[in-house]
Structure 1
Amino acid sequence: MSKKGQRVIRGTAFVLVLLFSTIIYRFFSSSSEEIIHSFDHPLFSKKYLVRGVDVSHHNSYINWSQLRKENITFVYLKSTEGTSHNDREYKKNYRLAREAGLRVGSYHFYTFGRDGQKQASHFIRHSTSESGDMIPAIDVEHSPFNRPCNDKESYSKMIRELRILENALFKHYGKRPVIYTNKECYRMYIKDNFRDNPLWICDLDNEPGSDYKNWVIWQFSHKGKIAGVEEIIDLNYYRHSFDDFKKMLLP
């Protein structure tokens, strides 16, 4: 066989191996992620009966009435970010979710190091939190605007302004705000600084363990699929019972 023919055979074999590997990878990836795509996982569906979603303007069309029929109890809506950004779908989502009978909470995306009082005032001014709504939440995570605070100066400023924001919301609403965070940011910023706040933990791999003493909500998927929502949506479990869930509501 000529060298050219050998090269063709080797090239064809390489393509086939690559294609086969891709198929196998996608198969096992989809299989391993299946448990985080719905509320039907056998280990958790009977353990956590209070279910919720969280939404921002990035989400596609939502039929809120249908969502309630799917036994969704609560929704957290993004309201504000930093000192000037408002989520453009917040007001509409709030009205429709409440009309559908869901318990509604509002959250603020914290911008690291920015003036905490101004961020609190921005959230309070633009958010709706009525009696029976859920305690407001602060989203603390890394993003293109929130880089890891690895040096002492940026870390101290980040924690200082977050404390100001947290305390301002506590004084205004009468309850400690929920803090949403993930494993990395919890260890870096929350664990040793905000021990009294209820936690909303994002962990796409594992159920929150004993390390998160105050966790009350577990966000277990960014790729949830549920009737009433055109595309994917974040899925959450509340840790305790329906009766205990009342503690999450504003008086």
Structure 2
Amino acid sequence: MRRLLLALLPLATLLSGCSSTDYDLMQTASIPPRFHDTDPQNFGDRTPQHHNIHGIDVSKWNGDIDWMKVKNSGVSFAFIKATEGKDRVDTRFPEYWQKARAAGIPYAPYHFYYFCSTADDQADWFIANVPKSAVYLPPVLDVEWNGESKTCRHRPTPDEVRVEMKRFMDRLEAHYGKRPIIYTSVDFHRDNLVDQFKEHHFWVRSVAKHPGEVYVERRWAFWQYTSTGVIPGIDGATDINVFAGSAKNWKNWVAAVSQPKQN
């Protein structure tokens, strides 16, 4: 358990002597689900309900949200879509992050990356539309293949992908003083990110199997385990996620990352 604690402290400590699977060495008893799921999956012995800290990710498609009801249902954090590419802003972002803050829910903005414009153009766009006060938890870079897009289906080489990601994240870290979290999907990770960006926290999507089965040697901090969740205060299906560590780990981590790094 001490090694798990070390794994979930700030970034410099995270890298000290932890194996790629330490994030998920939970020693607590199973916790009953806090939310409903209209299409629950069988994850075997390593279910999301073994984790204490649950959260949501939302965009304008979630509509009106009663943030106090969400908070009172047990939601511990919210990832909120902010921008997309070099010219799109989620219209509910300003409302969502301010209401999440008012409700006392730790929040972070995320950017959906398009590989048809430059990393600098997209970083400029994010910085122009996301004030520092909207970045309580570290900002998130959402990288996944977008095969359904009508405007950008370009798939760069893995080397190009990683160069663009690094440039974008370096720009955000320099501006906000917080190292970005990487959100990704199984296929994108397999194609581009295996054994890469070990100094970053990862938020992984895995709605059919436990992340340990589909992400090669990847230590993860957040796991998106369903897109069919039912959260009090939100109409319709909602993505639900878990944090890898205990409630104490969570409290320590939030206290560390909610403050900008000192130069």
TM-score, normalization by structure 2? 0.73
Residue 136 of structure 1: which of 131, 136, 139 is its match?
A: 139
Match of residue 8 from structure 1: none
Write the distance in 2 (CA, Å) between the matches of 1:102 and 1:211: 32
SS of residue in 1 equivalent to 2:60: coil
Match of residue 51 from structure 1: 54
Match of residue 224 from structure 2: 219
Q: CA RMSD in A?
A: 2.5
Matched, 1:110 2:116: no
Q: Is the 8 A contact 1:75 1:103 kept in 2?
A: yes
Q: Given residue 34 of structure 1, which amino acid in structure 2 is its aligned partner?
A: P
- Percent identity between matched residues is 27
**CA 146–192 in structure 1, closer or farther in 2 if over 3 Å, else same:** farther
**CA 128–50 in structure 1, closer or farther in 2 if over 3 Å, else same:** farther
Q: Is the 8 A contact 1:137 1:180 kept in 2?
A: yes
Match of residue 247 from structure 1: 253
Write the distance in 2 (CA, Å) between the matches of 1:208 and 1:155: 21
* Offset, 1:68: 0.4
Write the distance in 2 (CA, Å) between the matches of 1:250 and 1:63: 24
Q: Given residue 87 of structure 1, which amino acid in structure 2 is its aligned partner?
A: D
> What runs of 5+ residues in structure 2 fail to find an aligned partner?
1-36
Residue 82 of structure 1: which of 81, 85, 88 is its match?
A: 85
Match of residue 7 from structure 1: none
1:39-59: CA deviation from partner (whole Å, max 9, x where unpaired): xx99432x2111100011111
Which deviates the most, 88-97 or 157-166? 157-166
1:190-211: CA deviation from partner (whole Å, max 9, x where unpaired): 2244222110000001121173
Bigger Rg over Cα: 1
> What runs of 5+ residues in structure 1 fail to find an aligned partner?
1-30
Write the distance in 2 (CA, Å) between the matches of 1:134 and 1:158: 24
Q: Is the 8 A contact 1:78 1:108 kept in 2?
A: yes
